[in-house]
Amino acid sequence: MILVTGANGFVGTALVARLAREYPAAVRAAVRRPVPRPLAGVEYAETAGLLAEADWSKALRGVDAIVHAAARVHVMRDRSTDPLAEYRRVNVEGTLALARQAAAAGVRRLVFVSSIKVNGEATSSDRPFTAEDAPLPQDPYGVSKLEAEQRLRELAEATGLELVIVRPPLVYGPGVKANFFSMMKWLRRGVPLPFGAIHNRRSLVGIDNLVDLLARCVDHPGAAGGALLVSDGEDLSTTELLRRLGTALGTPVRLIPIPARVLEFTARAAGGAKLAQRLCGSLCVDIAATRRRLAWSPPLTLDEGLRRAAEAFDK
C-alpha cells in the first residue's frame, strides 16, 4: 500500500491518479476534507492534517511507502506575526510526527517532496544548483523545508527508514494557480507585457514530469539517500516562456522590450523585490545526477507540458 499525503493538492491529485494506474487497489490518499470526485480503486483516509499531535495510525495501516506531498506552502499576504514558526509547526514538526509514526509502523520508504528553495533563490545562468551544493534558503518556507530534511535524515539513520528527498522548482501544469495561472490569463486577454527583453535562465517542471519521477522514487533501489533535483531538462528565459506559452494557448503575444534592470528597479521601488527576482533573475537546476541514479529522463518536453497546461486552462 502506498500512502500519498496532501492528496487533494495540486501535486497530490496528479500523483494519486498516476499511482492508481500503476498500482491498482494499492493507493491510499490522505485528505483533510472529502474529495468531490473520488477515483475508482483509491482508498481515501481523512486526517486531521499535518500537525505534531496528529494520529496517523489508521492511515498508516498496511502501508509500505509514503509520498509526502502535504505542506504549508507559500501564503500570499501572510498575516502571521511569526511566519517561520507557522512553517515550522506544519512542515517540520508535522512532518516529523508522520515520519516517526511511519517508522514505528514498519513503513519501508518515505518520499519527501521538498523544494529547490532549500538550495536558494537564484543562480547564475551558467552555474545551476546541484544536490551537493550547500543549502542557502532565503525565506521561511525554504528554511522549514531544509529543517525538515535534516530532521528526517536523523530519523532515517536512527530507524532504518529509507528516505528519498525530491526538490522541485516551479511546478506547472493542468490546474496550476498563482503566478503561472496569471501569466496565462494575461496572455489570453492580449495584455501587453513589459517582458520582451529578459535574458535570464530558469528551470521549471511540468506536473507530469514531477509525478513520473515521484512514482519511480516509490520503489527504485537507487532513489534513497541524498536529494534529487528535478526539472523539464530545459531552461529558458521569462521572455521565451511567455512566447512559448502563447504558442501553446494559440494567442498572439505582445511583449514590450523594457530592459530587465528597469523592471527590477521599478519592482523593488514598489516593494516587489521577490517578484522581480522571479521574473528577471535566474534559477537553474542540474538534473544530471537524477538522470544517472534513476535511469530517468523527463517523459514530456517543456512544450508538451505547456500545451497540456494551456488545454486545461481553456476548458
Do the Cβ atoms of 46 and 19 come closer than 8 Å?
Answer: no
Distance, CA of 147 to CA of 92 (rounded, Å)? 6
Q: Do 114 and 166 touch, CB atoms closer than 8 A?
A: yes
Which residues does 300 contact at the CB level (< 8 Å), separation at least 6?
A: 206, 208, 209, 232, 308
Angle (CA) 135-132-217 rounded to 5° is 100
> Interior CA angle at 110 toward 24 and 25, to 5°?
10
| Active-site residue flag, 141 | yes
Residue of 23, 44, 141, 172 marked active site: 141
CB crowding 196-208: b at 16 or more within 10 Å, else e: bbbebbbbbbbbb
Dmax over Cα atoms in the chain, in whole Å? 58
Contact 267, 194 (CB under 8 A): no
Of 264, 265, 245, which Cα lies nearest the Cα of 255?
Answer: 245
Which H/E stretch holds residue 227?
A: strand 227-229
Kindly give the pairing relationship between strand 170-172 and strand 202-206: parallel
Catalytic (active-site) positions = 141
